[in-house]
Amino acid sequence: MSEHNHGDGCDCGHDHEYDNDSITLSLDDGTELNCIVLDIFTVDNKEYIALQPEDGEEEDDNVFLYRYIQEDDGDPQLLNIDDDEEFEAVADAFEELLDSDEFDDMFDEESEEEEEE
């Protein structure tokens, strides 16, 4: 489900442009990758962000997980998750969010169908 990337240079290995719904990552090789912000969530009192490449196939389930810090100037700072235990905890929490969202979506669809009848 998730891809665990380690970058070089800044803490996450990428430069960022952020507009609340998406982030453009400037990769080490000079290419840019536009990513959709799937969610910002908390694990053990730290915030994390889940990103998915915009150009990916719908079936493509590459999700990038980073430690997320909101700077005072409004810009986000993304940090690599270098510890395997921390990454596993974050990946598990994100999967739980997905499961919860899917359950909520199914429940909402059933409620809408009942209202239409």
pLDDT tens by residue, 36-67: 999 999 999 999 999 999 876 555 568 899 99
Q: What residues contact residue 22 under an 8 Å CB cut-off, 6+ apart?
A: 34, 35, 36, 37, 54
The confidence band for 109, taking pLDDT boundaries of 50, 70 and 90, is low
Q: What average pLDDT score do residues 88-117 get?
A: 75
Task: Kindly give the residue spans of alpha helices, DSSP state H, lying in 19-83.
Answer: none
Cβ–Cβ < 8 Å for 37, 51: yes
For the ranges 3-7, 11-15, 28-32, 68-72, the lowest mean pLDDT is seen at 3-7
Please give the C-alpha separations between residue 64 and each of 3, 33, 37, 61, 109, in angstroms, as whole numbers. Answer: 6, 12, 10, 10, 29
| Domain range annotation of the chain | 2-116
Query: Taking the mean position of all CA atoms in its chain, how far away is CA 103?
Result: 19
